[in-house]
A and B are shown apart, each in its own frame.
Chain A
């Protein structure tokens, strides 16, 4: 499962370890939990002597999760509304051996929410997040 947690203050020290009873946290199986991809920033160009260069400046992980109406209800919708405006956002894959929160930032301006066949109680959210720091 993927734990989504938001906080008004940055998690530091021991707080970065996963806490199943943490406030402002929800766990979802996610209908589509995509494996992380990378977002690379490169500086590249051609030199006057004919050589080319391509330096990786930084690399971040991109996560994509789709949570559908089978798991998402109006409480979940409210949660993600708050998640998107919170200053500190975290995710944690609870299937891993070492459970720590990864700080992420959202890549969409608004909560990417759609409704199945325009039915208001069948919401679906596709989150596109990337790590705040480099990896």
Chain B
């Protein structure tokens, strides 16, 4: 009998990193061939930096009971709430861009954590970050609404989705 393989997580000094949400990128995709429904072209890309500290994401299991009294995880549900402080809605066309994403129908979203760099744009300096990671939410649906927070309006974008597995959603870039 071969010996078992040991996987040990015990070095907290090097394996716990600070990775706050740095930015989100929503990519609108356009179908090239409407008739055959093939080929996607990146129509426009919406990057949101400097989002508020309340922004968060969380995953929860969708479970069902089994016949021995336990539970079986059949999928994972996630939701991410992004608080966007850029609030000059009369001129910053943020809402119309979000509306047009719905019109395109196809879009993908990524949340950049820590020092993860968004490709093709100038990234502001990452602070309070030790490492980088990217959460690929894929084509999860979203909704948005403005609200007032003390002295200013702000926008909340909520992403929701379901996936059978989540281990592949956390990427290095």
Residues of chain A touching chain B, judged by Cβ–Cβ distance below 8 Å, are 31-34, 68-70, 116-117, 119, 121-122
Contact = CB atoms under 8 A, between A and B. Distances in A.
Interface stretch (B24-32, B50-58, B66-74, B115-123): B66-74
Contacts of B152: none
A122 B67 contact: no
Interface of B: 62, 64, 66-67, 72-75, 162, 164
Given A70-B73, A122-B162, 8 more contacts: A31-B66, A32-B67, A68-B74, A116-B62, A119-B75, A122-B74, A122-B75, A122-B164
Nearest to A116: B74
A58 to B, nearest CB: 28
A68 B164 contact: no
Contacts of B62: 116-117, 122
Contacts of A117: 62, 162
B150 to A, nearest CB: 37
Contacts of B162: 117, 119, 122
B64 A31 contact: yes
Contacts of B75: 69-70, 116, 119, 122
A33 B67 CA distance: 7
A74 B123 CA distance: 41
Contacts of B64: 31, 68, 116
A70 B72 contact: yes
Contacts of A69: 74-75, 164
